[in-house]
A and B are shown apart, each in its own frame.
Chain A
Amino acid sequence: QKEVEQDPGPLSVPEGAIVSLNCTYSNSAFQYFMWYRQYSRKGPELLMYTYSSGNKEDGRFTAQVDKSSKYISLFIRDSQPSDSATYLCAMSARNYGQNFVFGPGTRLSVLP
């Protein structure tokens, strides 16, 4: 079993839909949870960062962490074609991030 699991997709949704992206993990030491967006042939860019359990909202994006279930989610409201990208979850036991573990990514297509 991989340390971080993520459905690779592809996931196709119509414009305006609510998108739910999820990751599960096995290492209970993870405390820092990140979501990155990666466009084709580009480096990942940080979307959301959450420490420990709870919810965090930023515009159309909401990140949820449930440490008891070892499950994290990213919700995208009012999805746009420009949201079409690969979404990577990443986790770390420590703040300084040298031990980031990334999921394989979910490829999302938002259709106009």
Chain B
Amino acid sequence: DTGVSQDPRHKITKRGQNVTFRCDPISEHNRLYWYRQTLGQGPEFLTYFQNEAQLEKSRLLSDRFSAERPKGSFSTLEIQRTEQGDSAMYLCASSLVGGLAYNEQFFGPGTRLTVL
């Protein structure tokens, strides 16, 4: 399967613990996005990378959240000192920017986080 993959698919943690999620984008894609989706809502943009550079962060991304894309390939999203309000689906998407009229974002299956 050459689509976007995310790991783990599900994570249950206790409040106060740190969690890390991984996203592997489509191999030739140079942009990678992170979104958060809560029940009954659409995805909300968190941050995105162009290659290894993090170019934009949403105000939703508090200081407890950090994302990296060290070699411009896979990315990790870490949440420190998790809170119950962090419970959500965390979606990763990737796209290839440049050359085409429209740069479609391809989404992964998401990581569902439950904070107890």
The residues of A with any CB-CB pair to B shorter than 8 Å are: 4, 6, 8, 32, 36, 41-46, 49, 51, 88, 90, 95-105
Contact = CB atoms under 8 A, between A and B. Distances in A.
Interface stretch (B13-21, B42-50, B63-71, B78-86): B42-50
A98 B102 contact: no
Contacts of B95: 96-97
Contact of A43 (B45, B48, B97, B108): B108
A94 B63 CA distance: 27
B103 interface: yes
Contact of A45 (B40, B102, B107): B107
B3 to A, nearest CB: 9
Interface of B: 4, 31, 33, 40-45, 48, 55-56, 91, 93, 95, 97, 101-110, 112
A97 B103 contact: yes
Given A46-B105, A46-B106, 19 more contacts: A41-B109, A43-B107, A43-B108, A43-B109, A43-B110, A46-B104, A51-B102, A95-B101, A95-B102, A96-B95, A96-B97, A96-B103, A97-B95, A97-B103, A98-B45, A98-B48, A98-B55, A100-B45, A102-B44
Contacts of A6: 42
10 contacts: A41-B109, A43-B108, A46-B105, A51-B101, A99-B45, A102-B43, A104-B40, A104-B42, A105-B40, A105-B42
A40 to B, nearest CB: 11
A95 B43 CA distance: 18
A100 B105 contact: yes
A104 B103 contact: no
A49 B45 contact: no
Contacts of B56: 98
Contacts of B109: 41-43
A37 B97 CA distance: 22
A100 B110 CA distance: 17
Contacts of A104: 40-42
Contacts of B55: 98
